[in-house]
Amino acid sequence: MTTKYIFFTGGVVSSVGKGVTAAAIGRLLKERGFNVTAQKLDPYINVDPGTMSPYQHGEVYVLDDGAETDLDLGHYERFIDSSLSRVCNFTSGQVYAEVIAKERRGDYLGGTIQVIPHITNEIKRRITQVSKSTGAEIVLVEIGGTVGDIESLPFLESLRQMRSDIGRENTIYIHVTWLPHIGATDELKTKPTQHSVAELRSIGIAPDMIVARSDFPMGEDLRDKIALFCDVEKKAVIPMVTTPILYEVPLVLERAGVGDYLLKRAGLEARRQPDWTDWEAMVQKVSHPHPQVKVALVGKYVELHDAYMSVREALKHAGLALDVDVDILWVHSSDLEKGRGWEDVKTADGILVPGGFGSRGIEGKLQAAHYARENKVPYFGLCLGMQLMVVDFARMIFKNESANSTEFDRSTPYPVIDLMPDQLGVVDMGGTMRLGLYPCELQPGTIAAEAYQQPLVQERHRHRFELNNAYRDTLQQNGMRLSGISPDGRLVEIAELVDHPFMLGTQFHPEFLSRPNRPHPLFVAFLRAVKQKAGLN
Ligand code: GLN
């Protein structure tokens, strides 16, 4: 079949859940038997989000093939449950870099290079490439930012052109907007939505569907009004009230008839009836209170919870599997260094130290690892969290506080975490890491092997430093098990302590492979220990 494209634009304000809406719609279409994938177009100039501060951008989400992408790709993978690839995310920076490189090579034969058609052609090439390389029949394309941003104009122009390139039945435009609530009169307002649609129309795009997000339920009169003023069918005005349960969104959209409407609009017949039994059961479970466990998440960007989006979701998924609600206590690692935030660490039933870069807050994270080790509190270290668990253990073995990772102290006498010899001399910050899926062999009889129940796994990586092989023997002789090793024997992938209920760290990021209906085995194992610590069994 001809590839169908569904384009998502945002109106009024950002952060209204455009990514979640796209992801959920992907699920609706997958449930109807189609091969669906999703792509995010980021209009900023950075080449990828890999070097951007999480404060600016939230989490960097890593794919199987090692692409460092926008966090919306995490939503797509969790909702649609298919693995995405590098072609599923691109930025203005990449588009311009490509066009300029071609110009330098002389590919344009002396022509004047312009936004239309050169930049827009490159954008369209990248959009159409997705179905070619993934075989998807329906591609959901989300444009970052909000209509009205200067930098999104070339992207919107490309979407407009695509309708005339490939036809109306193959292109659907969905505009996701926000209805503000006026407290004094207790009413929702549609005017900003009308303005934003007017702006979109002035660019030549008439939306086929409007998803109107709001914090309060929308009456039929408002639906009529949006339909009339924005010129969409009433049944294509989809009210979406804020729900505390993220995974309810596909069900809300299903009930609103979005899946059937889109298929009809694209001239497609459902290949099977959607089966929401498992999904509904999951949402049911989330909406019922369970006994609570507390996990202290000790990080550097904790003010912005989006910076740890996948970790938070993975904890939720595992909590669902074990019938507990996970209350995350967000602890700032540099606070711990100043003696603050310890109440949370001490009341927590488990401690999680996620990934990170740079030296700020490192000693605080080390203190958290130290506390977990000494007090036998379950500890889960992800990437940097694993490296620091090793550093803390080494400080204990060598009775020397200067054991460290060379990332933080180049001249430490005990460089237990270090660059591999073949990485020395790497200076660039962008794209110079071990990225993406790598195999890991589990060592029988370990907590990790017990959790996974399989001998070989593949996990996603994003880091430069590794456990220094020169210290393997000493660490093992003192009670650390190296429970996951790369099949060639060169790299330690998982470490755990023998004399501890659960102190385990992974060199990779397990959070990226956790799915709502398929929690990650190590998160489940961690939470099981947390549950035990909380006295719930
Ligand atoms: N900064 C560490 C490294 O580069 C850990 C990275 C991470 O936690 N993702 O190895």
38, 140 contact by CB (below 8 A): yes
Give 435 Cα–ligand 1 centroid separation in angstroms. 11
The CB-side HSE value for 353 (13 A sphere, CA atoms) comes to: 37
Helix or strand (DSSP H, E) at 153: helix 153-166
Indicate if 195 belongs to the active site. Answer: no
Catalytic residue, from 88, 230, 383, 440: name it.
383
Is the model's pLDDT at 358 over the cut of 70?
A: yes
Ligand 1 centroid to 353 CA: how many Å?
12
Structure confidence by residue, pLDDT tens digits, 318-348: 999 999 999 999 999 999 999 999 999 999 9
Q: What is the pLDDT of residue 289?
A: 87
CB neighbours of 209 closer than 8 A, spacing ≥ 6?
A: 172, 173, 174, 175, 232, 236, 237, 238, 258, 261, 262
Provide the pLDDT for residue 451: 97
Give residue 426's pLDDT band: very low, low, confident or very high (50, 70, 90): low
Which atom of ligand 1 approaches the CA of 465 most closely? 10
**509 in catalytic set:** yes
| Coil, strand or helix at 154 | helix
User: How many whole angstroms from 463 Cα to the centroid of ligand 1?
Assistant: 4
Residues with CB under 6 A from ligand 1: 355-357, 383-384, 407, 462-465
From 57, 157, 511, 520, the catalytic residue:
511
Say what the pLDDT of residue 422 is.
Answer: 66
Cα separation, 522 vs 506, whole angstroms? 9
Structure confidence by residue, pLDDT tens digits, 257-271: 999 999 999 999 999
Amino acid at 265: R
Mean pLDDT of 129-148: 93
- Residue to mutate (ligand 1; options 353, 388, 464; most atoms within 8 A of CB): 464
Q: Indicate the top mutation candidate among 387, 407, 429 to test ligand 1's pocket, ranked by most ligand atoms within 8 A of CB.
A: 387
Segment 395-413 shows an average pLDDT of 95
276: nearest Cα among 251, 299, 239, 258: 251
Distance 209 CA to ligand 1 centre (A): 42
Q: Ligand 1: distance of its center to the CA of 264 in Å?
A: 47
**CA separation for the pair 276, 53 (Å, rounded):** 38
CA distance 245 to 33: 25
Give the chain's end-to-end CA distance (angstroms, integer).
52
pLDDT bin (cut points 50, 70, 90) of residue 429 is low
Interacting residues of 50 by C-beta distance below 8 A, sequence separation 6+: 60, 68, 430, 431
Among this protein's residues, is 151 annotated catalytic? no
Give 163's pLDDT tier (boundaries 50, 70, 90): very high
* Tokens representing residue 414 in the block: 């005990």
pLDDT (0 to 100) of residue 103: 93
- What pairs with residue 350 in β-bridges? 295
Q: What whole-number distance in Å separates Cα of residue 435 and Cα of residue 67?
A: 7
Tell me the whole-structure pTM to 2 decimals: 0.91
Q: Whose CA is nearest to atom 1 of ligand 1?
A: 357
pLDDT digits (tens, 9 = 90+) for 86-109: 999 999 999 999 999 999 999 998
> What pLDDT score was predicted for residue 120?
97
Q: Which of 28, 149, 16 is nearest to 72 (CA)?
A: 16
| pLDDT confidence bin for 428, thresholds 50/70/90 | low
Question: What DSSP designation does 115 have?
Answer: I
pLDDT band at 47 (very low <50, low <70, confident <90, very high): confident
